[in-house]
């Protein structure tokens, strides 16, 4: 069961969310708040993966909660579902610019699409829960989405993918924003022009009359044949890059002519393909024109954000081959890994490598007051933040929720170690069995 804090004082909305979650088998358990201090305390100590905020409720301090989350986005990286009545969505998105937005919904849209939204989140846990141990155990994450001709699906899936890549430190904030634009443009093209057969001229006339294009999409979906069509979104996320493919069930189009055409000046629309080609790598279409694929190149060994409690600490840079610490030396500090790769040697043998994905270096000897159990050497240039034991203890006194986070981190590392030990034991038993079989030789006649 996954707990979801719902920041709302509206009893009818809360009752609706509660009943919907119950109807889904209690996979999600809403926890309701309207007091800012209670909300902040819950966010700090439970570190929820999903948060729902009702921005149109005058009884809650929604912006104050956002500001608190924004003080330490490294810790509060979980996704936000924003609910409102008729607020200006552009202003709302600007207020949430540094948040991991899953969806921004009018209340009427939430009531119509809540079950579908939660089903999407349930089916895509591995890409929503960005800091789970699967990131360390699985070298490649792949999956696919089947999307209805609905804007809610488009924004949700786009946000899930871009948030995951950003929180896994695979792309920068700038790349995240560009990828988000490219995904939205290509997905909306697949629905509008592919499945709903909206022509360029039809869309132009619609927009010139100051009407919302989503209204036209909904009109088209009144046709059962169009409503039955789907968009297929698949992704493969490996160490070096991500490959994304979007396919619709339309008749396709002459993509070569569209890419070659260069309008004299930007119009109301028609620039989506051009923008997407600028923002991603290796954009290409199939011959029919109803499938597009592209790559997103990852950056390596860099952290997108630093814990707020370390902001005042001083960074230290280590060049290629420089020793960070030596086996046997006294230890009264640990390091937060900002960027780079660190090789770990024990008794002269290379035993592992650490990157920003590992978050800390030296926390075990730091916590146990032992001498260093290994020598650590920088591979290439690395940037670390050195934290003394006294400073860390003082920081936890001021922000005790970091103690809980550190305990969770160590529990995850223990879980990974157990998995690796189990794999090694299985491999050992397999090799032992093969060796015994070979040594036994043929049975005597």
235 pLDDT higher than 70: yes
- Choose among 167, 152, 146, 149: nearest CA to 74: 167
**Number of continuous H segments (helices) and E segments (strands) in the chain:** 17, 16
Q: Is 146 inside a domain boundary?
A: yes
145 and 284 co-located in one domain: yes
Q: Kindly report the pTM of this predicted structure.
A: 0.65
Q: What is the pLDDT of residues 76-89, one digit of tens each?
A: 777 889 999 887 76
Given this model, what pLDDT does residue 304 score?
64
Does 445 fall in a domain?
A: no
**Do residues 54 and 108 both lie within one domain?**
yes
Percent of the chain with pLDDT over 70: 82
Residue at which a domain ends, from 70, 98, 115:
115
Looking at the structure, tell me whether residues 294 and 358 fall in a common domain.
Answer: no
Q: Residue 128: which CATH number? A: 3.30.565.10
Select the more confidently predicted residue: 439 or 40: 40
Q: What's the start-to-end Cα distance of the chain, in Å?
A: 61
Query: What tokens were used for 211?
Result: 């009407």
Answer yes or no: is 62 within a domain.
Answer: yes
Mean pLDDT, to the nearest integer, of 12-17?
A: 94
Can you tell me the distance from the alpha carbon of 400 to that of 237, in angstroms, rounded to the nearest whole number? Answer: 35
CATH number at residue 87: 3.40.50.2300
Q: To the nearest whole number, what is the mean pLDDT of the chain?
A: 81
CATH number at residue 337: 2.60.120.10
Please report which confidence band the pLDDT of residue 428 belongs to, taking 50, 70 and 90 as the band edges: confident
Residue 213 reports pLDDT greater than 90? no
- Residue 218 is assigned to a structural domain of this protein: yes
175 and 290 part of one domain:
yes
Separation CA 16–CA 112 (nearest Å)? 11
Averaged over 139-157, what is the pLDDT? Answer: 79
Would you say 5 and 34 are in contact if contact means Cβ atoms under 8 Å apart? no
**Tally of domains in the chain:** 4
- In the numeric block, the tokens 């995904």 are attached to 183
Query: Is 287 exposed, middle or buried, given 0-12, 13-18 or 19+ CB atoms closer than 10 A?
Result: exposed
- Domain range for 268: 124-299
Residue 22: strand, helix, or coil? helix
User: Encoding tokens for residue 360?
Assistant: 């800390």
Stretch (H or E) spanning 73: none
Say whether both 265 and 289 belong to one domain: yes
Examine the fold and report which residue of 274, 299, 324 is the final residue of a domain before the chain moves on: 299
* 405 and 391 within one domain: no
In a domain, 129, yes or no: yes
Are residues 386 and 406 located together in one domain of the fold? Answer: no
Joined together, the tokens standing for residue 161 give 């993918």
State whether 168 and 91 are in the same domain. no
Q: Using the predicted structure, report yes or no on whether residue 268 has a pLDDT greater than 90.
A: no
Last residue of a domain, one of 66, 91, 115: 115
Alpha helices in 133-245 (DSSP H): 134-137, 151-167, 173-189, 200-208, 213-220, 224-227
**CA 58/CA 76 separation, integer angstroms:** 24
| 260 and 352 together in one domain | no
For residue 208, how many other CB atoms are within 10 A of its CB?
10
Same domain, 198 and 314: no
pLDDT in tens, 158-196: 888 888 888 777 888 889 989 998 998 899 889 988 999
Does 336 or 264 have the greater pLDDT score?
336
């Amino acid at each position: 069961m996954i707990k979801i804090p719902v920041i709302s004082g509206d009893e009818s909305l809360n009752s609706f969310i509660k009943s919907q979650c119950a109807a889904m088998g209690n996979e999600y358990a809403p926890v309701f708040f309207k007091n800012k201090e209670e909300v902040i305390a819950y966010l700090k100590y439970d570190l929820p993966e999903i948060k729902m905020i009702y921005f149109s409720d005058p009884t809650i301090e929604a912006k104050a909660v956002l500001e608190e989350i924004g003080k330490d986005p490294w810790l509060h990286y979980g996704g936000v579902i924003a609910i409102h009545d008729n607020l200006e969505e552009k202003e709302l998105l600007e207020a949430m610019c540094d948040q991991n937005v899953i969806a921004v919904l009018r209340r009427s849209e939430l009531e119509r699409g809540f079950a579908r939204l939660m089903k999407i989140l349930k089916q895509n846990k591995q890409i929503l829960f960005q800091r789970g141990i699967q990131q360390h155990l699985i070298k490649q994450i792949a999956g696919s989405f089947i999307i209805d001709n609905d804007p809610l699906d488009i924004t949700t899936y786009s946000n899930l993918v871009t948030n995951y890549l950003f929180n896994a430190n695979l792309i920068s904030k700038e790349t995240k924003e560009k990828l988000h634009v490219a995904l939205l443009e290509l997905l909306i093209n697949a629905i509008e022009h592919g499945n709903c057969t909206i022509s360029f001229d039809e869309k132009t006339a619609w927009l010139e009359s100051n009407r919302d294009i989503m209204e036209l999409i909904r009109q088209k979906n009144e046709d059962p044949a169009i409503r039955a069509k789907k968009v297929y979104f698949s992704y493969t996320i490996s160490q070096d890059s991500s490959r994304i493919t979007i396919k619709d069930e339309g008749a396709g189009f002459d993509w070569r002519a569209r890419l070659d055409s260069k309008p004299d000046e930007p119009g109301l629309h028609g620039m989506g393909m051009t923008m997407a080609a600028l923002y991603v790598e290796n954009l290409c279409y199939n011959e029919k024109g109803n499938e597009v694929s592209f790559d997103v190149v990852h950056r390596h060994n860099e952290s997108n954000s630093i814990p707020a409690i370390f902001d005042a600490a001083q960074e230290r840079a280590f060049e290629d081959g420089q020793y960070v610490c030596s086996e046997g030396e006294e230890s009264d500090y640990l390091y937060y890994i900002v960027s780079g790769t660190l090789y770990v040697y024990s008794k002269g043998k290379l035993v592992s490598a650490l990157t920003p994905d590992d978050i800390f270096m030296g926390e075990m000897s730091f916590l146990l007051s032992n001498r260093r159990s290994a020598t650590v050497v920088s591979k290439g240039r690395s940037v670390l933040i050195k934290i003394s034991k006294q400073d860390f203890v003082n920081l936890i006194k001021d922000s005790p929720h970091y103690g809980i986070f550190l305990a969770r981190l160590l529990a995850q590392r223990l879980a990974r170690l157990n998995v690796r030990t189990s794999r090694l034991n299985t491999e050992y038993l397999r090799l032992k069995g093969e060796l015994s079989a070979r040594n036994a030789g043929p049975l005597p006649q």
